[in-house]
Amino acid sequence: MKKLLLFFCLAVFFSGCEKKVTFELQETDPLLVVEATIESGETPLVLLSRSLNFFSEISPELLLNSFVHDADITISNGVTSQKLKEYSYPLSADARLYYYTVDSSLAGDLFRGEMNKEYSLEIKANGKVYQANTTIPSLAKKLDSLWWKPAPFSSDTTKVVLMTKVTDPPGLGNYIRYFTRTGNGPFLPGFTSAFDDQVIDGTTYEIEVEQGVDRNADIDLEEYSFFHRGDTVTVKFCNIDKATFDFWRTMEYSYSSIGNPFSSPTKVLSNIRGGALGYFGGYAVQYKSLIIPK
């Protein structure tokens, strides 16, 4: 009886201590969002947009209006500089994707990404200047082989897991990011796509390659990683520098923590100077394909 009385008193005490807390969020000016990449053997690609309010109701019109047009963008490999030109690509009858890349009319002055080279980027937009640097490292870490095996603990015989063997060179500091493509579809990054070599430095190891995901779609966390018999799978395996790794490491951790009240806040690490969000990343790319028989 005494225990019940004590419990009742505590419940009354704590309920009386409740206080309604409200936060008034200040409106802030949108920031420039940069997604800039240069891959080995490819020309640079830059997408510019404006950040959206946290509580914005996302719509196609809002996303289309977020693109930043008429920016002055220059990229340099330390010897040659190129001014990028804005293009658009139709996504549907009512939507277009806007991006910046090299001016195809200046074919003689174009350069493509090369391994072991550093690149600088300068963006002038909305009266502000933003700068960044990245490196395309060597292809020091490679996929040795690909194979498949039946999905474990599943009665569905059409599902398989993709496996690879990888050799990590001795010495810390080998960072990678990977993507997968099925058939002629787009390359999609893994749910966790960026990795360092803190644990596997200097070793050869076998690991599952999970299927890449479209983060704009609903993801079934129990099924997303599998491939199926009859699939033709291509893995895009990229060596990246530390700044690119740090961006995607923090970005993907932040993404996976959305909606989790017990997760700690994560600052996404950007290498863009001048107050913008996003990153400028260099990729040394290897492709490897496998046909999974039906």
175-188 residue pLDDT tens: 999 999 999 999 99
pLDDT tier at 10 (50, 70, 90 boundaries)? very low
**Range 76-84 average pLDDT:** 94
pLDDT at residue 285, as a whole number: 98
Query: Does 46 map to a domain?
Result: yes
Q: Would you say residue 3 has pLDDT above 50?
A: no
Cα–Cα dist 140/231, whole Å: 29
| 245 and 148 within one domain | yes
pTM of the predicted model as reported, rounded to 2 decimal places = 0.86
Structure-model confidence comparison of residues 20 and 284, the more confident one: 284
Query: Does 99 map to a domain?
Result: yes
pLDDT at residue 11, as a whole number: 47
pLDDT at residue 236, as a whole number: 98
Query: Does 186 map to a domain?
Result: yes
Structure-model confidence comparison of residues 57 and 249, the more confident one: 249
| 237 and 167 within one domain | yes
Chosen domain end from 93, 109, 136: 136
| Three-class HEC string of 160-192 | EEEEEEEECCCCCCCEEEEEEEECCCCCEEEEE
Chosen domain end from 104, 136, 168: 136
**Residue 249 sits in a domain of what CATH number?**
2.60.40
Neighbouring C-beta atoms of residue 276, cutoff 10 Å: 21
Q: Which of 96, 86, 27, 10 is nearest to 61 (CA)?
A: 96
Query: Of the ranges 9-13, 102-106, 155-159, which is most confident?
Result: 155-159
